[in-house]
Amino acid sequence: MLDILENFVREKGGKFKRKESVKALSLIYTWMRAFDDEAEKLVREKKLEKLRQLKENEKAKQAAERFTSFVVRMPLDKKTKKRIIKIFAEMRRAVFKEYLEEMKLGYFAAPEKVIAWKENTTGRAFEDFGNIIALLNGLSEKDAELAGKALRNWALAAQIADDIRDLHLDYGRNLNFFVSFLTKYPEEKKLIEKDLKNRRVSLKWLEKRAPRTLSEIKNLFYKYLNQIGKESESFSFLRELEKTFFESRVLMRFYR
């Protein structure tokens, strides 16, 4: 997902502040990755008490501080700067709260629980990022909210593609969209488990072993994709992002 966004904002043309947007994206992603890595480590080690006491490590704190400094230096009015900093602060608190729930869910949680968790972490982070880059580029708060919704759905669709690609890495280790739907079909789950570690995940491989699971995850994927189009019609840069997404290898590797 990061690669797709970076390729998009680095393209030339238009009035979009691509350099500044890449910087904002990089700092937000650095914060989330540092925090996510620490949380995942505690979850894997089943250290629930430490997870409850989870705090941002030094790398995450530095990324957050650099982001705030970056916004303060931007040639924006004070109201917009305060709005951007507030969005980031609220996102940090919200995502932090959700990570405390991950261990309670377990790696084989039901679809509705995993969907809610993904929407409140990945979805929330990218929705706020959409708000932020829109405000950085001079859009109104109302338009920024629409941009945020578009990026939220884009990120969740991309996350589904990522979860399929990383199925062999996530299985029994991280919350995964595909695995959550797989729990509904024990016979398909058994077939996937049988030789998951020995095979490269592909659509053809999944179609033979988990056709019903794949059908359900595709329906969810296209639900998010359809929402992108509804929001992106208002903004040229979101139409560009949609085009970039459809041309991305992450998407085309699994959905044709």
Task: Summarize pLDDT for 119-139 with one digit per residue, the tens.
Answer: 999 999 889 988 998 888 888
Is residue 115 within 8 A of residue 11, CB to CB? The reply is no
- Measure the CA–CA gap between 42 and 49, rounded to whole angstroms: 9
End-to-end CA distance of the chain: 18
Could you tell me which of 155, 158, 152, 154 has the C-alpha nearest to residue 131? 152
Question: In this predicted model, which residue has the larger pLDDT, 241 or 158?
Answer: 158
Q: What is the model's pLDDT at position 93? A: 84
Task: Give the confidence band of 12 by pLDDT, cuts at 50, 70, 90.
Answer: very low
Would you mind telling me the total number of residues written for the chain in this entry?
A: 256
Instruction: Give the separation between CA 86 and CA 84, rounded to whole angstroms.
Output: 5
Confidence at residue 143, expressed as pLDDT on a 0 to 100 scale: 80
Q: Is 167 helix (H, G, I), strand (E, B) or coil?
A: helix
pLDDT score of 47 more than 90: no
Two structure tokens written together for 117: 């968790």
With cut-offs at 50, 70 and 90, classify the pLDDT of residue 199: low
Most confident of 19-23, 109-113, 202-206, 218-222: 109-113
Give how far Cα 98 sits from Cα of 16, 21, 51, 72, Å: 32, 26, 11, 28
Q: Please, which pLDDT band fits residue 198 given cuts at 50, 70 and 90?
A: low
Q: Which range among 11-15, 51-55, 158-162 has the greatest average pLDDT?
A: 158-162
Average pLDDT, the chain: 80
Of 62-71, 124-133, 239-248, give the lowest mean pLDDT range.
239-248
Provide CB contacts within 8 A for 252, sequence distance 6+. Answer: none
Distance CA 81, CA 28 (A): 16
Q: Please report, to the nearest 10 degrees, the dihedral formed by the alpha carbons of residues 24, 25, 27, 29 taken in order.
A: 160
Which among 116, 137, 136, 126 has a CA at the least distance from the CA of 220?
116
- DSSP, collapsed to helix, strand or coil, labels residue 124 as helix
Mean pLDDT for the stretch of residues 192-203: 79
| pLDDT confidence of residue 112 | 97
Instruction: Give the least confident one: 15-24, 130-139, 174-183, 228-237.
Output: 228-237
The pLDDT of residue 79 is 94
pTM, rounded to two decimals: 0.82
pLDDT, mean of residues 192-204:
79
From the options 1.10.600.10, 3.40.630.30, 1.10.1380.10, 1.10.10.10, give the CATH code of 2-252: 1.10.600.10
- pLDDT at position 241 is 57
Alpha carbon of residue 123 to chain centroid: 5
Quote the percentage of the chain above a pLDDT of 70.
74
Residue 45 has pLDDT above 80, yes or no: no
